[in-house]
Amino acid sequence: MRNTARWAAALGLTAAAVCGPLTGAAVAAPGAAPSSLYAPSALVLTTGHGSDAATATPERAVTLSCAPTASGTHPAADQACAQLQGIGGDLAALKPAPGVWCTKLYNPVVVTVQGVWQGKRVAYESTFGNACERDSMGGVFAF
């Protein structure tokens, strides 16, 4: 139960930092013109050791925004945004980089992604056998 509360707290704090507080002032009036030419793309990515987000202890969390330019606390924001744009934001389509070899040592690592990609809600969770397998997916999970 404590781990679930930690994940919830980490996601809540990071989402508040990315999206801002949800107040009545933040909600646009019906029929109002959009304030940007870009569909919103703001994500919160977390990682931790464990078999799933409910039981894993969160170790790191970063923010990633890709429109109009790559930004956020993600250390490789440009590379991560380029990779996401290349797969149309479909995180399930991420594949390991060719030529990367990882040991079979089982030390599960879970990643979660929450937020909005080009105006559509994103909720993603994946468990990898170890950190090498996670890192082999490229820039998106390189934090």
How does pLDDT run across 46-91, given as a tens digit for each residue? Answer: 999 999 999 898 899 999 999 888 999 999 999 999 999 999 999 9
Number of compact structural domains in the chain: 1
Q: What is the CATH number of the domain that holds 84?
A: 3.30.350.10
Q: Is 49 part of a structural domain of the chain? A: yes
Q: Is 52 part of a structural domain of the chain? A: yes
Residues 6+ apart with CB under 8 A from 140: 45, 80, 83, 84, 91, 94
What pLDDT, on a 0 to 100 scale, did the predictor assign at position 36?
A: 56
Q: Is 25 part of a structural domain of the chain? A: no
Q: Is 130 part of a structural domain of the chain? A: yes
How does pLDDT run across 94-132, given as a tens digit for each residue? Answer: 999 888 899 999 999 999 999 999 999 999 999 999 999
Question: Do strands 57-65 and 120-128 pair parallel, antiparallel, or not at all (unpaired)?
Answer: unpaired
Rounded CA gap, 36 and 25, in Å?
A: 17
- DSSP at 70: -
pTM over the 0.85 mark: no
Q: Is 122 part of a structural domain of the chain? A: yes
Rounded CA gap, 35 and 91, in Å?
A: 27
Residue 98 forms beta bridges with which residues? none
What pLDDT, on a 0 to 100 scale, did the predictor assign at position 39?
A: 77
Query: What domain range includes position 6?
Result: 2-17+38-141
Residue with tokens 């404590």: 2
